[in-house]
């Protein structure tokens, strides 16, 4: 038996796995414990809540959601993330599966502020598609 790359699967039968069909990993949706224990990511908590940037609760506040937030300038590129050693779980050996694939379970990450991100995304969507630009800028300035 062979995998999607044509490599022999030891102990496998003849032919290709799934008759040559294959799937792809789109997102790794998981709670924070699974991310830490199985995907070997940082232990997310309210002090250091992120696998995607070096935000924290002191020098680079994760709860700062304006367009001037410092953490926005420090979001890890895939190369930075791999260089940090965070790609050590086996699943990250699959081409294209990177830090961009990580997607926390909102219900179990809400205490870290993920609801603010969701709310922010909806706010931006509303501004872009439904609100006159001047009104949106004024509202954003008052919120930021």
Average pLDDT over the chain, rounded to an integer: 75
As for how many domains the chain has, the answer is 2
Question: Domain for residue 83, yes or no?
Answer: yes
Q: Based on the domain organization, do 81 and 103 belong to the same domain?
A: yes
In a domain, 61, yes or no: yes
Cα 26 from Cα 44, distance rounded (Å): 22
Is 68 contained in some domain? yes
User: What is the CB neighbour count within 10 angstroms for residue 94?
Assistant: 12
SS3 state of residue 114? helix
Q: Is residue 2 part of a domain?
A: no
Instruction: Kindly state whether residues 35 and 66 are assigned to the same domain.
Output: yes
What confidence tier does 104 reach under pLDDT thresholds 50, 70, 90? confident
Q: How far apart are the first and last CA of the chain?
A: 57
Which range is least confidently modeled, 13-17, 46-50, 108-112?
Answer: 108-112
The reply to whether 90 and 46 lie within a common domain is: yes
Considering the domain architecture, whether residues 61 and 127 belong to the same structural domain is answered as no
pLDDT tens profile 26-81: 788 888 788 889 999 888 776 777 777 888 888 888 777 777 888 888 888 899 98
| Same-domain status, 121 and 82 | no
Q: Is the pTM of this model over 0.95?
A: no
**Residues 76, 26: contact at Cβ < 8 Å?**
no
57 within domain boundaries: yes
In a domain, 69, yes or no: yes
Q: Facing residues of 104 across strands? A: 30
Residues 101 and 42 in one domain: yes
Look up the domain containing 93 and give its range. 27-112
Question: Residue 60, SS3?
Answer: coil
d(CA 58, CA 17): 50
């Amino acid at each position: 038996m062979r995998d999607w790359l044509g490599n022999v699967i030891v102990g496998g039968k003849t032919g290709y796995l799934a008759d040559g069909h294959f799937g792809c990993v789109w997102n790794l949706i998981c709670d924070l414990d699974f991310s830490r224990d199985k995907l070997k990511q940082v232990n997310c908590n309210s002090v250091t809540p992120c696998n995607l940037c070096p935000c924290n609760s002191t020098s680079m506040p994760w709860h700062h959601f304006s367009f001037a937030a410092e953490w926005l300038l420090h979001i890890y590129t895939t190369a930075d993330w791999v260089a940090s050693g965070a790609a050590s779980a086996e699943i990250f050996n699959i081409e294209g599966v990177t830090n961009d694939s990580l997607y926390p379970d909102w219900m179990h990450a809400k205490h870290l502020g993920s609801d603010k991100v969701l709310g922010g995304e909806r706010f931006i969507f509303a501004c872009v598609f439904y609100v006159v630009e001047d009104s949106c800028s004024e509202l954003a300035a008052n919120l930021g």
